[in-house]
Amino acid sequence: MAPQERTVVVTGFGPFREHDVNASWVAVQELNKLGLGEDIQLLVYEIPVEYQKVKELVPTIWKEHQPRIVVHVGVSGVANAVTLEQCGKNHGYMGLDNVCSAPGSHCCVEGGPACLDSTIDMENVRQTVQAAGLHVELSVSHDAGRYLCDYAYYTSLYFGKGMTAFIHVPPLGKPYTALELAQALQAIIWAMLEQLNSSA
């Protein structure tokens, strides 16, 4: 079955550690209010900060919706820019999640490649969005952090055959509001879809 060309799934994470309110999920909820235009069906999910939940939910999203793209959003306590992650890593997951658990193998997919790259050229997306005059700083990273963000990203890249993106946002008010983050997400996703459509 062909991917649903008009369906985009965007996820945010629930609370964890010092992040009682997770900026990623707040931003995704704001994005859901803005939408992605009449032609695109936007579906949003909140993912618990638990490895087992990620392992169950991410493949289910791909199987049930067969979206054009899945965009995962997470919060980074050290970021002050919106960060586009180019790749996900398979190994090194030792940090405990919200239920004090970690993968027994310390990896996402046993036997999978050490690193998976997104089909999307994140530097190209960054340049496109910044050139459009968005007043939010963007950066590109090749290390999503070896915690639940990276774990979800790799898992999604694996099951989505690269048609996945991960975006790290700073905590709310440091320096952006939820609406500013949502507007940035909207512009970024539009740029990603444009890139995918032009290369199709």
Q: Known catalytic residues? A: 85, 149, 168
- Helices 23-34 and 178-199: crossing angle in degrees, nearest 10, is 70
Q: Are 136 and 180 in contact (CB under 8 A)?
A: yes
Locus of tokens 């940035």:
184
- Spatial contact of 157 and 88, defined as CB atoms under 8 Å apart: yes
- The whole-angstrom separation of Cα 49 and Cα 96 is 10
* DSSP three-state, residue 172: coil
Whose CA is closest to 22, among 149, 155, 150?
A: 149
Contact predicate 141/86, CB 8 Å: yes
Cβ(152)–Cβ(54) under 8 Å? yes
- What is the number of residues in the chain? 200
The runs of H, that is alpha helices, within the chain are 23-34, 51-65, 122-131, 148-159, 178-199
